[in-house]
């Protein structure tokens, strides 16, 4: 009641209300009394209490999705959960781990280094550079994936040190480099970074301007930053912690430029003082990833010994003679870029795991949060019971599962690599790095929105992940540039096969050797879910786009354009072709995994996930309709099938996200008792 009313007015109003209530019938009076009683508050019910028991073995699905080293993954998770360095905090009766993103830039950086030191003492990095064999490589990839689910800065800090600096020493260097630096790198006696990107050149590594000139008299390389655009830029680890770096520079000998080569240079001494003739500056605060000390480096004619040239591919003899095991300059340049391949593999796989975290949180929330009711006075519905909410989240779930298989495929190919596979590894890693990181950002945005205002809270992870992982779209290869490289590679494969009159072999292009698939005029639900139809459709689109792309490039060439200009002008078809190649690749890989699963409930679930993935590809891409692969009626049928598949997948959503194997502590309060987490007694700010 308005306190400004005078007491006499208040008394008169109270008396009037009393007389009104006194005149009610007993039935009406009871109804009014009931209406004045406080309503029962919403209460949290864990999804496990109402969702059906899993129809399949979540452990079997986890084994398929993780692919390898489950025991080692769980050990790494426990190692982080056990240390207060990982910011343990209680919320809603559970303990969660997450970095403190409210710390300043310097605080986040030092916290990252303390965590790296702890993990080193726990033996997490043991054998990462010194233990040979594919299994050891897969193990360290598995452990890095777990660290990345805790914090992107932690994963990048470790990734730069081991997978860029360390891999360059290991795979571009020879015994003299291995003996001098590998053991100290693994034990963090030295801290490495990777100086490739410059202010003026990122994707165009051939165009970098840093120069390394060989001095025959002293048998040293003189490394110089000749202009501001040549400063090394965005170098992770450089601003605060790195003691050594790999410098990519144009090698000049006797006035001749031999192209880009890699050199080892010390940038800080054992007391963390910057070395003479080197200048380092901070790149500053970023929209995310502030636990990594990105820096800028200038070299003022620093001198490094001749032996510091990483010489597996090419060497300079004491008398200045340049020798190389690879005669072709293009192939030699590609060999120097090989460390980036592992970086792209890591980025792509890490993106899938972050998508899994986001989807797991959003699905669990949607299985406990209710809103509105279908009938008057009826109970409010769970968010995930709304068909529109299913359409928002369950396709993301399907994509995360299929992209897990693609990531495992890429890792297995990389650890068993041979020189003959280098080209394929480059193409697959480029296509999947771009596609999986783009999908991660799409997933995080949709999951953030699906969680409403709760998705904005840093403690609930999804919102902050958007800023933390945005960088994945541009570092170690701008996604758009990488996809153009994929199309150019497919164009080259097409021309080579036609010129030599040989069948296509590799990259999954063997389907081009057979007859053109025929798509039925009318698609039923059964046909749409058929794996053979799905492969035929995606192969048909890829085949058609490859021919269109080569024809368009040929037309520009006939008009007198250069090959590079013709490829640039055909960028629209190039984008569609690269997407078609990647989506067909992901489907083909998943089908191979699905084929190895015996008939039963898990295989049925995999079929639902696969079919939903393909139907969503049709629904989200205009290329099927644009190029005539499907009629408007069939595209509409696929769109309708998406809704049906979502409803069939809905009862299995909790079991699928549970099979991701992510410990509760690495999700967020929103995935569990979000009411208790926001209670007045919780102390959250």
Distance, C-alpha 206 to centroid of its chain = 26
Of 580, 586, 574, which Cα lies nearest the Cα of 629?
580
CA distances from 592 to 85, 344, 542, 586, 601 (A): 41, 23, 19, 10, 17
Catalytic residue among 209, 476, 493, 583: 476
Contact call for residues 99 and 88 (beta carbons, < 8 A): no
Both tokens of 599, joined, read 């008939």
Residue from 486, 467, 543 nearest 511 by CA: 543
Give catalytic status of residue 476 as yes or no: yes
Rg (CA), the chain: 29
Q: How far apart are CA 444 and CA 280, in angstroms?
A: 35
Of 677, 156, 682, the closest CA to residue 460 belongs to 677
Measured in degrees and rounded to the nearest 5, phi and psi for residue 168 equal -65, -45
Q: Which helix (H) or strand (E) holds 295?
A: strand 294-299
CA distance 263 to 430: 25
Return all residues near 217 (Cβ < 8 A) that are at least 6 apart.
Answer: none
The answer to whether 236 is a known ligand-binding residue is yes
Element (H, E) at 104: none
CA distance 265 to 271: 16
Cα→Cα distances 570→309, 538, 580, 626, Å: 40, 21, 16, 16
CA 203 – CA 602 distance, rounded (Å): 42
Strand extents, DSSP E, 518-596 = none
Cβ neighbours of residue 128 closer than 8 Å, sequence gap 6 or more: 136, 140, 162, 166, 186
| Phi, psi values for residue 305, rounded to 5° | -60, 155
Q: How far apart are CA 211 and CA 194, in angstroms?
A: 16
Alpha helices in 167-302 (DSSP H): 167-172, 175-177, 183-186
Report which DSSP code applies to 487: H
Contact 96, 88 (CB under 8 A): yes
Residue positions forming the annotated binding site: 197, 236
Residue positions forming the annotated binding site for FAD: 197, 236
Annotated catalytic residues are 476
């Amino acid at each position: 009641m308005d306190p400004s009313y005078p007491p006499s007015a208040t008394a008169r109003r109270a008396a009037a209300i009393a007389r009104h209530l006194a005149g009610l019938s007993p039935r009406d009076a009871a109804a009014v009394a009931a209406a004045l009683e406080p309503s029962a508050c919403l209460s949290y019910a864990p999804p496990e209490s109402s969702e059906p028991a899993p129809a399949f073995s979540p452990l079997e699905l986890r084994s398929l999705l993780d692919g390898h080293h489950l025991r080692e993954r769980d050990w790494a998770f426990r190692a982080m959960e056990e240390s207060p360095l990982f910011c343990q905090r209680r919320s809603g009766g559970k303990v969660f781990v997450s970095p403190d993103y409210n710390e300043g830039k310097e605080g986040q950086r030092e916290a990252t280094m303390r965590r790296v030191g702890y993990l080193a003492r726990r033996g997490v990095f043991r054998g990462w550079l010194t233990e040979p064999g594919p299994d050891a490589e897969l193990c360290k990839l598995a452990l890095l994936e777990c660290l990345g689910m805790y914090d992107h800065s932690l994963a990048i800090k470790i990734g730069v040190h081991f997978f860029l600096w360390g891999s360059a020493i290991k795979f571009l260097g020879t015994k003299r480099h291995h003996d001098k630096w590998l053991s100290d790198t693994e034990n963090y006696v030295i801290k490495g970074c990777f100086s490739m990107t410059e202010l003026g050149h990122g994707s165009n590594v051939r165009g970098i301007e840093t120069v390394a000139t060989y001095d025959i008299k002293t048998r040293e390389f003189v490394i110089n930053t000749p202009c501001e655009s040549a400063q090394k830029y965005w170098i992770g680890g450089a601003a605060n912690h790195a003691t050594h770096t790999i410098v990519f520079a144009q090698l000049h000998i006797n006035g001749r430029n031999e192209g880009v080569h890699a050199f080892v240079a010390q940038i800080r001494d054992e007391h963390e003082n910057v070395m003479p003739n080197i200048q380092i500056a901070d790149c500053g605060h970023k929209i995310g990833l502030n636990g990594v000390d990105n820096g800028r480096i200038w070299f003022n004619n620093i001198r490094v010994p001749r032996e510091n040239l990483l010489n597996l591919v090419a060497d300079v003899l004491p008398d200045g003679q340049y020798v190389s095991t690879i005669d072709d300059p293009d192939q030699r340049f590609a060999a120097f870029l090989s460390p980036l391949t592992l970086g792209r593999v890591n980025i792509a796989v890490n993106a899938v795991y972050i998508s899994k975290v986001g989807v797991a949180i959003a699905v669990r929330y949607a299985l406990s949060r209710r809103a509105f009711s279908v009938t008057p006075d009826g109970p409010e519905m769970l968010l995930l019971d709304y068909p529109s909410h299913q359409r928002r989240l369950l396709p993301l779930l399907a994509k995360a599962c299929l992209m897990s298989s693609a990531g495992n495929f890429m890792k297995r190919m990389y650890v068993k690599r041979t020189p003959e596979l280098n080209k394929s590894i480059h193409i697959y890693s480029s296509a999947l790095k771009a596609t999986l990181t783009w999908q991660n950002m799409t997933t995080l945005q949709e999951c953030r929105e699906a969680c409403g205002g709760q998705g904005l809270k840093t403690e609930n992870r999804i919102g902050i992940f958007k800023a933390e992982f945005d960088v994945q779209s541009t570092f170690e290869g701008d996604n758009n540039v990488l996809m153009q490289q994929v199309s150019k590679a497919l164009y080259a494969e097409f021309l080579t096969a036609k010129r030599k009159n040989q069948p296509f072999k590799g990259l999954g292009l063997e389907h081009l050797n057979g007859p053109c698939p025929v798509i039925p005029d009318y698609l039923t639900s059964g046909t749409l879910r058929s794996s053979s139809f799905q492969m035929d459709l995606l192969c048909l689109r890829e085949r058609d786009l490859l021919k269109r792309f080569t024809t368009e490039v040929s037309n520009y060439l006939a008009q007198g354009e250069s090959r590079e200009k013709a490829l640039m002008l055909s960028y629209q078809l190039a984008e569609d072709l690269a997407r078609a190649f990647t989506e067909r690749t992901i489907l083909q890989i998943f089908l191979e995994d699905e084929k190895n699963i015996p008939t039963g409930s898990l295989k049925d679930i995999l079929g639902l996930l696969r079919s939903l993935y393909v139907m969503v590809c049709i629904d989200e891409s205009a290329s099927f309709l644009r190029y005539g692969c499907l009629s408007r009626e069939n595209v509409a049928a696929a769109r309708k099938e998406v809704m049906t598949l979502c409803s069939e997948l809905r009862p299995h959503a909790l079991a699928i996200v549970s099979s991701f194997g992510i410990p509760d502590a690495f999700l967020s309060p929103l995935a569990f008792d979000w009411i208790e987490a926001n209670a007045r007694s919780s102390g959250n700010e």
